[in-house]
């Protein structure tokens, strides 16, 4: 079993964090996520990671990403599971890095669960971009073609 945690960067820790579940920041850059998912095997990619939070309701703040490689083991802190498994997140991060390049490497991945309801799709954003991008929840592939630049 392996559970790794990543603290929020200083910039994120000082900035206003997600409130009341409107956004779930992973508090982790795309580059870091890509590196962490790189060496995982099939079973580990089928597991679902989570993000630790502090406070509840209006005081809820996401603070640390936890890479979980075995769904039978979890973290002992309050946390929200990511809406996709590790394999789908790995595919999604790869697509974002391939399309947006070096400008996206330091951007933090945020899940936007309260967007337009789309069965089978998850909306994400990159910190400071204002993007709202949809990806298939099961596979991590983009809904349509990624366009634009950062």
pLDDT digits (tens, 9 = 90+) for 49-61: 999 999 888 888 9
pLDDT band at 150 (very low <50, low <70, confident <90, very high): confident
Contact 109, 33 (CB under 8 A): yes
Domain membership flag for residue 109:
yes
Query: For residue 147, what pLDDT is reported?
Result: 83
> Is residue 79 domain-resident?
yes
In a domain, 149, yes or no: no
Most distant pair of Cα atoms in the chain: their distance: 40
**What range defines the domain where residue 55 resides?**
3-136
- Residue 47 forms part of a structural domain: yes
- Note whether residue 95 is domain-resident: yes
- Residue 148 maps to a domain: no
The pLDDT mean for the chain works out to 85
How many domains does one find in the chain?
1
- Cα–Cα–Cα angle for 82, 88, 92, rounded to 5 degrees: 100
pTM for this one? 0.82
Assess if residue 147 is contained within a domain: no
In a domain, 132, yes or no: yes
């Amino acid at each position: 079993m392996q559970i790794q945690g990543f603290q929020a960067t200083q910039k994120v820790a000082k900035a206003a964090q997600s409130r009341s579940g409107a956004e779930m920041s992973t508090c982790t850059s795309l580059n870091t996520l890509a590196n962490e998912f790189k060496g995982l095997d099939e079973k580990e990619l089928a597991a679902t990671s989570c993000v630790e939070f502090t406070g509840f309701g209006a005081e809820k703040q996401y603070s640390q990403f936890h890479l979980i490689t075995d769904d039978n083991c979890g973290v002992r802190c309050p946390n929200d599971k990511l809406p996709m498994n590790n394999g789908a997140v790995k595919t999604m991060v790869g697509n974002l890095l391939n399309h947006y390049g070096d400008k996206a490497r330091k951007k933090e991945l945020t899940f936007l669960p309260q967007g337009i309801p789309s069965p089978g799709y998850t909306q994400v954003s990159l910190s400071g971009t204002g993007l709202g991008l949809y990806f298939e929840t099961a596979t991590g592939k983009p809904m349509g073609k990624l366009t634009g630049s950062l």
